[in-house]
Amino acid sequence: MSLDLDTTVKLAIYTTIAETAAAPTAVAVAQRIGAAPQQVEAAFTRLYEKRLLVPEPGDPSRIRMAPPFSGVPTAFPVEARGKRYYANCVWDALGIPAALHEDAVIPAADAFTGERLTLEVKAGRAVPQECVIHFAVPAARWWEDIIYT
């Protein structure tokens, strides 16, 4: 069974991120799967339209978000597999260990006080601790400005 181009591109993106902790460009994906860069850029556009990826503003050949992964450094690092991944928010930071099927450490900070705290995921579960995760924007409105959210 062969996969359609969009699925092949999406799998290449997530495989690259898992291996390198960095989001690939359209050219890098094209090289990885043996496709023309224009075909991959068109697939990126379709994936953006389906809200499966978020483009880098001003450069749709680059990925800003491949949820739960961020394509740029953020305030939500996730340490797993000896690498530092970045999440788009604390919710996504908890999603990265699930996506990787790995334990992880999430060095975080209280956005209001700046107090440092460390979240951990072990054996697929968040290690319980006294803290509250707050979302300033209701989930139903995240896509109104997904980069801010």
Where do the domains of the chain lie, and which CATH numbers do they carry? 5-66 (1.10.10.10), 77-144 (3.15.10.60)
Predicted pLDDT of residue 136: 82
Beta strands 54-56; 104-109: pairing state:
unpaired
Contact 78, 87 (CB under 8 A): yes
Predicted pLDDT of residue 1: 56
Half-sphere exposure of 34 (CA within 13 A, CB side): 0
Predicted pLDDT of residue 130: 83
Q: How far is CA 100 from the centre of its chain?
A: 11
pLDDT, averaged in runs of 10, over the chain (149 residues): 89 98 98 98 97 95 97 95 95 96 92 86 93 82 81
Phi, psi dihedral angles at 61 (to 5 degrees): -85, -5
CA–CA gap between residue 94 and residue 24 (Å, rounded) = 22
The 8-class DSSP code of residue 2 comes to P
CA–CA gap between residue 23 and residue 56 (Å, rounded) = 11
Predicted pLDDT of residue 138: 86
Q: Residues of 49-62 as b/e, b for ≥16 C-beta within 10 angstroms?
A: eeeebbbbeeeebb
CA–CA gap between residue 9 and residue 7 (Å, rounded) = 5
How many Cβ atoms from other residues are within 10 Å of residue 102's Cβ?
A: 18
